[in-house]
Structure 1
Amino acid sequence: MNQHGSDRQGAAQQGVKQQRTCVGCRSRAARADLLRVVAVGGVIVPDPRKRLPGRGASLHPDSGCLEQAIRRRAFSRALRLEASPDSSVLLRYVQGSEET
């Protein structure tokens, strides 16, 4: 038992897939199916390796979810930004990944 009184092990050790919510469509999906994005100097950049420092948000890597997130201003809320971020780098990344 741990200090909180449960026998629970880490989710990764139990083989349970970690779930995240897409900031665009708001549906839950496995972490591996979503693209992590972070804000770097007011610009939203993709983090496909999930290694960049800072607060991240999850997004399905398709243009529909990206458009919804931009329209809803979801990146500002999820990443706790004061100003609207530049999403042009992320848009190019998503469009490029849809073509392949």
Structure 2
Amino acid sequence: MTGPVRTCVGCRRRALNDELVRLVVAHGELVVDERRRLPGRGAWLHRDPACLVKAERKRAFPRALRVPGPLDTSAVRAALERLATEE
């Protein structure tokens, strides 16, 4: 692997950051940071919906992003579906 390596919060596998999407909390909402430039702590996730389900089940997002309480993942799910159709 060449380049930055990150760990998916869903499956816990390591991958190049080009294979993952970065998620951040912006204005209290979990959003996909497509340009990878938004400020704040980020969490990384494979584009695979199964990884999103695993992360939700483990309640990984609040822990990884260090925010209290649950986060709504509906915007992330929609973004992953959109990214899957673009590929």
TM over 0.5: yes
The corresponding residue for 1:4 is none
The corresponding residue for 1:91 is 77
**Contact residue 62 and residue 95 of structure 1 kept, 8 A:** no
| Counterpart residue type for residue 34 of structure 1 | L
Distance apart, 1:84 and its partner CA? 0.4
Q: Can you list the C-alpha shifts for 1:43-95, whole angstroms capped at 9, x where unaligned?
A: 21001110001110000012110111111100010000111011111110011
> For residues 71 and 35 of structure 2, what CA distance do their matches in structure 1 show?
21
**Structure with the bigger percentage of strand:** 2
Distance apart, 1:35 and its partner CA? 0.3
Identical-pair percentage: 46
- Runs of 4+ in structure 1 off by over 4 angstroms are none
The corresponding residue for 1:52 is 38
The corresponding residue for 2:26 is 40
RMSD: 1.0
Q: Which SS does the other structure have where 1:77 is aligned? A: helix
The corresponding residue for 1:64 is 50
